[in-house]
Structure 1
Amino acid sequence: MQERNSMIEPPIETLLEKTGSKFSLVIVAAQRGRQINDYFSKLGQGMGDVLPPQVTSASHTALSMAFEEIAQGKLEFVDTVDAVDTATKDE
């Protein structure tokens, strides 16, 4: 596998199409990056409660893996503000 420069791949435009805003991208990537770090830190300790990385990656950082997962559509997230607004309107 060829090592990639994570500042270029995946392109920011692709990531923004998936998340809708820079703020959402930062939040989703940071949360998933922490989950990936937790997964690797708990390896060998039995079954964990954290989902392993969903992409095969040459990246060495959890954040880069999170960006790749977002770009490939492996993560689903809900904008909770929009979800709350929609639920409130339905009532």
Structure 2
Amino acid sequence: MIKVVRNRNIHVVPGGISVSLIEPPIGRLLEKAGTRFGLVVLASRRARQINAYFNELGEGLGSYVPPQVHSLSRKPLSIALEEIDADKVTTAPSE
């Protein structure tokens, strides 16, 4: 019998195998955003846009861009992180 010990978001299985429960992995997201702060800002801004898009669906305004990836998640932040991982959302260089 294998026991799985939960340590935050990582399952540690006897024998040295560890499996991350976060998808997409934070390391991959940090490579795309550059810094933790940049990732937080980018993901939160995009999540707000996605939330606004879903809120105005019935009004027919169409002023926000819909989600750019097909996701099983219904949460705007999870969708935003998946978009960043898929290179659908990037930061604009500052002047």
The two structures share one fold, judged by TM-score above 0.5: yes
Corresponding residue for residue 47 of structure 2: 33
Identical aligned residues as a percent: 51
How far apart in 1 are the matches of 2:79 and 2:64?
Answer: 15
Runs of 4+ more than 3 Å apart: none
- Extract unaligned runs of 5+ from structure 2: 1-20
- Please identify the structure whose Cα radius of gyration is greater: 2
TM-score, normalised by the number of residues in structure 1: 0.78
| Structure with the largest fraction of helix | 1
Larger relative strand fraction: 2
Identify the structure with bigger relative contact order (alpha carbons < 8 Å, sequence gap 6+): 1
Q: Displacement, 1:61?
A: 0.5
Residue 46 of structure 1 deviates from its aligned partner by 1.0
2:56 paired residue number: 42
Question: Can you give the 5+ residue segments of structure 1 that lack an aligned partner in the other structure?
Answer: 1-6, 85-91
Residue 52 (structure 2) pairs with residue 52 (structure 1): no
Equivalent residue number for residue 22 of structure 1:
36
Q: Within 5 Å, which residues of 2 pair with 1:68-79? A: 68-79=82-93
TM-score, normalising length: structure 2: 0.75
Q: Aligned residue pairs: how many?
A: 76
* Equivalent in the alignment of 1:87: none
Q: Return the alpha-carbon distance in structure 2 between the equivalents of residues 36 and 9 of structure 1.
A: 19
Q: Go from structure 1 to structure 2 and tell me whether the alpha carbon gap of 1:22 and 1:79 turns closer, same or farther (over 3 Å shift).
A: farther
